[in-house]
Structure 1
Amino acid sequence: MKFSLAKVKLPSLVNSLLAVISAVLLTLSFPDFDLWFLAWFALIPLFFVINREKESFVKSFVLGWIFGTSFFFGTCWWLTFAPITYGGVPAMIAYPLLFGAALVAGLFPAIFGAIFSLLLKRFGTYASLFAPFIWMATEFLRFNLTGNNWNAIGYSQAFSGKSLQYASVGGVYLVGFLIILNNSFFIWLYQYLKKEFGEGIFASYIRFKLYTPFSYMIQNDDGMQKTVTGKQQLIIIALVFLPVPIGIMSILIGENHSPSKPLVPIPENTFVIAVQPNVPMSGLKYGEREKLRERHIQLAQNVITNSKFDEYAEEEANTYSKSEKFEKDKKFYSDLAVKNFQNAQKVVIFPESPMNFMYENDREFQEFIKDFAIKNNVSVLFNSAEPNLRGDNLYNSAVMINSSGEKVAQYDKIHLVPFGEYVPLPEPVARFVPSMVGNFQYGSEYDLLPFGDAKGGVMICFESHFPSLSREFVHNGADVLIEMTNDGYLGETPVLRQHLANAVFRAIETNRPVLRVTNVGVTAFINERGEVLDAAKPYTEDTRVWTISKSNANQTFYVKYGEWFAWLCSLVSLGLLSICSWKKEKKKEKFATAERC
């Protein structure tokens, strides 16, 4: 039997446009549009057209593919910035390449569409309520197959200030589940009303809301009465008394939290001085590099010598002075903050940047950073390319120098960026394929760094995307998470805040603050509830002063059990597929038996 593409029927233009509309609405819920509430309704058009085309597995697959390709192209267009700006790749080549990548990523929503159509045929109306399990399973599949789950639907809520606390239980997948549940609820409602009451379903729904509490009889449009069964009564009453779906209600959680402050005048705290140096991404000559290195030091010293810290002390005084004796209290808290700062342990953090420090192999830089640490009585944490034990390759590392100028800790980046920091191809081939910044070696140890009495786990750039890393750090006793990032090569694009969204979830999942120190932005303190505080303006030179202390050592459900919810969704999805397959085989057997008879 020959297969012909000509015989494959594709979705109608109208249905395809509705899938694109869903993609546009979901894109608008992500940074930099930040219309996060749209995510709770964005997928209704997609679910509607898949339901309409449920008899065709291929059409449902294609609709999901159209949606996925449009969404990933719309939210990740910034991937073209570096090739065009720094690689000299023409836009007419860069964007088609991006489209190809979006086609690959779009296969996972396509798989969702195909499976969803099978469930709709098998389970009818109630299949819509299984959609959240299938969606989360395909997102989890994308992460496991590609090593990347960028812009999973849950991340759209990073700056909503709501619903995020569920991440401490089930991670970004549980937040995403609630979003999909809300979308699928409306499709289920539409299907149910259409099935039970035929045409005029929305008018019927309004009549339910008016009459159901007082009557078990509903009039059809022709004036005849229709008896409502017990099951229907329960469903209708639920619609009356619970008109707001679970997903909508969930976003109200956390409303009464008051934000914690990143700077608290407690003597035992360790002060962190975060430097955002705004190092340009274009090639730096030796003289320029030397000046920028000195500028790093100058920015930090402006804080250490109090010329900059006075501003922070005054802000803190304004925060803590709330009595009638405002000016007196303000001076007290300001003086206390300055005194504590002078006496406390301090750590200066320089971000990942194009400075390309090489501590182990650069004796001059060793003396330079040692002199700064001893002179100012501070520890220094910075990004450096460090050799492995054999000396034949380099790690992308975070190195800490104490106030005596001695190297006390090093973390080697575990999750490298494909084609950016390594080439994911066999060695003979990899030699001929260039990467953007080098071909680094993977780190393997979850080393913690000392921050006074506290311990910190470091995430270097892209690593904030991996919840398994932050979980392991907290398992090992981390009191705080530090992210050192350089997104400068991607320009002033949505990537800055899309990347920030990942760090927001890592803070909530682990119940640990994340201190985000970046080259160009967004440098910010993220507290345990995911609130982004004291953010620096992107693409400016700036510094921030924060404090950290030992945590209570409590571990969230998510830290203890990891991606249990994503695995649960995957198992449920496999179970549903098995039921569909079993039903199909049973029908075949019945048909074969009938033929023999």
Structure 2
Amino acid sequence: MRTIDRWLTSPWRRSCAVAVAGALPVLAFPAPSLWWFAYVALVPWILLARSAPTGRRAAYDGWCGGFGYMIAMHHWLLPSLHVFIFLIAGLLSALWMPWGWLTRRYLGGTPSPGRAAAALLVLPSAWLAVELVRSWQGLGGPWGMLGSSQWQVGPALRLASVGGVWLLSFLVVAVNVTVAVLVSVREARVPAVASLVATAAATSAAWVWAPRPDVDGGVRIAVVQPGVVDGHASAEKRFDREERLTRRLAGQDVDLVVWGESSVGFDLGQRPDLARRIAALSRETGADVLVNVDARRADRPGIYKSSVLVGPDGPTGQRYDKMRLIPFGEYIPARSVLGWATSVGKAAGEDRRRGTEQVVMHVGHGLRVGPLVCFETAFPDMSRHLAEDGADVLLGQSSTSTFQHSWAPEQHASLAALRAAETGRPMVHSTLTGVSAVYGPDGRRLGPWLGIGASTARVYDVPLAHGVTPYVRYGDWPVHGALLVLAGLGATEGIRALRQRRSGAEPLVPPARTAHGSPARPGR
């Protein structure tokens, strides 16, 4: 212990240790998928922040840990963004600085049982505030929300129908705080255990109370995954392969055929020959075909990514233009200032154009589907709004071909499980090169994934369920609750600071001490 204390007195060593601690939660996500590890992954970070010699150092520990978290979660972007990913991570990591400061504020020194118990509410609330801010599309979106690591856990999916991925994140952080208190604060172990029992009782009650999806029908949906296509004229070759694979679905009584993102690289208005070929496929299979067009529009300026429904007579007129674009991948924020990113990575050479509203499409056989394009499947609010608007099935059209040999395809495919569980609607995740997946209305996977590089068409029997989940009805209530907690905290701290200033009282948290009782040397 003495050796560790001495080693951590170096600001640089401490910073590296905290950054590594912040990176640990990535192991709970695909591809490792060690979901159980999420419940202890934050403990080293919490213990380091609580032992910080000053509040300023604790805030810096929050930054270092956030930097490690962001780099680990988005490491697969490195080949595309190069050094720019470190700049982005450095800016977003500042969101964790208040969380680090609060960790020391409530757990530093020898906290009272009441203060340690309060940490079980304050620290998860502060974490949700971080996830809320970074979930804004312009800051990169909600990729890597801690609760998303629980995508394959049945009870967690059930809780997602109550409070969405936000509730899962809150509970995961609360368990981590409890474990950290049990490990490091002997005086507060009893209230920590009591709080953990209360949390378990509350979540168990929510699990029992949450209504289960009422399955009342089913459809047969085919996913067409062409696989890797190399060489010149790859858009033409991909279309040819998708056409061949789709023809195999003839006679299989399919209700809908779904192609992946950018499956058609030409505007169908300018290429009527392609529209006729897709319409012929619709007649052969007896099903409408949902394609995704990534091309410059003939009827308006700019490049759009659009979900287009094609029936036996050609395009049906139902179209959805992608609304939330990937920063740097599909547009460059403040291009006049940050346009140099195109010279150091694979940033967008031209900004894509945005759609203006979500669309529920009416497919043959009375089916209503809600399309989402790639990045949009990470946003809980978008799938919730589609469910509110009457969608029977959620459809995600995606392509992670650029990141084929990374953890990105598995991470992306797992998000559809959360969206299905939150809304009580099945979700189809169709990609170009994998991973494609289909989930039932309870978020459980239907059949095997179509893995990376697979070139095939597969039919899934998808159960339909209706009714309104608590998450769809009440929205992001865990976030609202967390913000109320932080607002109350801010008011309380302001009043306490004012009283201390008037009375000259000592601060609540004493300087951190080493295991031997001597004051720790101040760090950065």
- For the aligned pair, the TM-score class normalised by the smaller chain equals 0.7 to 0.9
> Following TM superposition, by how much is the alpha carbon of 1:433 offset from its aligned partner in structure 2, in angstroms?
7.2
Aligned residue type for 2:167: L
Cα gap change, 1:152 to 1:376, in 2 (>3 Å): closer
5 Å-filtered alignment, 1:23-422, equals 23-53=22-52, 56-82=54-80, 94=82, 96-120=83-107, 124-129=115-120, 130-144=122-136, 146-190=139-183, 193-194=186-187, 235=191, 246=199, 269-280=218-229, 284-286=231-233, 289-305=235-251, 341=253, 346-353=255-262, 355-385=264-294, 391-422=300-331
> Following TM superposition, by how much is the alpha carbon of 1:34 offset from its aligned partner in structure 2, in angstroms?
1.3
> Following TM superposition, by how much is the alpha carbon of 1:404 offset from its aligned partner in structure 2, in angstroms?
2.7
Aligned residues: 483
Report if the CA contact (8 A) 2:441-2:465 is conserved. Answer: no
> Following TM superposition, by how much is the alpha carbon of 1:420 offset from its aligned partner in structure 2, in angstroms?
2.0
- The alignment partner of 2:222 has SS state of strand
Cα gap change, 1:496 to 1:247, in 2 (>3 Å): farther
- The alignment partner of 1:516 has SS state of strand
Name the CA distance, whole Å, in 2 between partners of 1:82 and 1:429.
19
> Following TM superposition, by how much is the alpha carbon of 1:362 offset from its aligned partner in structure 2, in angstroms?
1.4
> Following TM superposition, by how much is the alpha carbon of 1:61 offset from its aligned partner in structure 2, in angstroms?
1.0
Aligned residue type for 2:273: E
Name the CA distance, whole Å, in 1 between partners of 2:414 and 2:406.
14
> Following TM superposition, by how much is the alpha carbon of 1:193 offset from its aligned partner in structure 2, in angstroms?
2.5
Name the CA distance, whole Å, in 1 between partners of 2:118 and 2:48.
14
5 Å-filtered alignment, 1:447-486, equals 447-451=359-363, 452-486=365-399
Name the CA distance, whole Å, in 2 between partners of 1:403 and 1:547.
22
Name the CA distance, whole Å, in 2 between partners of 1:138 and 1:10.
28
Query: What's the counterpart of residue 557 of structure 1?
Result: 470
5 Å-filtered alignment, 1:515-554, equals 515-534=428-447, 535-548=449-462, 551-552=465-466, 554=467
Cα gap change, 1:356 to 1:251, in 2 (>3 Å): farther
Cα gap change, 1:141 to 1:556, in 2 (>3 Å): same
Report if the CA contact (8 A) 1:517-1:524 is conserved. Answer: yes
Structure 2 stretches lacking a partner, 5+ long: 1-7, 506-524
Report if the CA contact (8 A) 2:426-2:464 is conserved. Answer: no
Report if the CA contact (8 A) 2:360-2:370 is conserved. Answer: yes
Name the CA distance, whole Å, in 1 between partners of 2:269 and 2:294.
8
> Following TM superposition, by how much is the alpha carbon of 1:190 offset from its aligned partner in structure 2, in angstroms?
4.7
Name the CA distance, whole Å, in 2 between partners of 1:66 and 1:246.
29
Report if the CA contact (8 A) 1:40-1:182 is conserved. Answer: yes
Query: What's the counterpart of residue 492 of structure 2?
Result: 579
Identity score, percent: 25
| Relative contact order, higher structure (CA 8 A, sep 6+) | 2
Report if the CA contact (8 A) 2:223-2:459 is conserved. Answer: yes
Name the CA distance, whole Å, in 2 between partners of 1:493 and 1:351.
19
Cα gap change, 1:492 to 1:252, in 2 (>3 Å): farther
Indicate which of 479, 503, 514 corresponds to 2:416.
503
Deviations 1:14-53 (A, max 9, x none): 7546534533431221221111111101122222222222
Structure 1 stretches lacking a partner, 5+ long: 1-8, 84-93, 196-204, 206-231, 310-340, 593-597
- The alignment partner of 1:533 has SS state of coil
Name the CA distance, whole Å, in 1 between partners of 2:428 and 2:204.
25
Aligned residue type for 1:52: S
Name the CA distance, whole Å, in 1 between partners of 2:54 and 2:236.
64
Cα gap change, 1:74 to 1:192, in 2 (>3 Å): closer
CA RMSD of aligned residues (A): 3.4
Name the CA distance, whole Å, in 2 between partners of 1:112 and 1:393.
42
Report if the CA contact (8 A) 1:163-1:252 is conserved. Answer: no
> Following TM superposition, by how much is the alpha carbon of 1:247 offset from its aligned partner in structure 2, in angstroms?
5.8
Report if the CA contact (8 A) 2:166-2:479 is conserved. Answer: yes
> Following TM superposition, by how much is the alpha carbon of 1:533 offset from its aligned partner in structure 2, in angstroms?
2.4
Cα gap change, 1:488 to 1:141, in 2 (>3 Å): same
- The alignment partner of 2:32 has SS state of coil
Greater gyration radius? 1
Match status 1:591 vs 2:500: no
> Following TM superposition, by how much is the alpha carbon of 1:252 offset from its aligned partner in structure 2, in angstroms?
12
- The alignment partner of 2:395 has SS state of strand
Name the CA distance, whole Å, in 1 between partners of 2:249 and 2:353.
35
Cα gap change, 1:377 to 1:189, in 2 (>3 Å): closer
Report if the CA contact (8 A) 1:81-1:491 is conserved. Answer: no
TM-score (normalizing by structure 1): 0.73
Cα gap change, 1:115 to 1:475, in 2 (>3 Å): same
- The alignment partner of 2:419 has SS state of helix
TM-score (normalizing by structure 2): 0.82
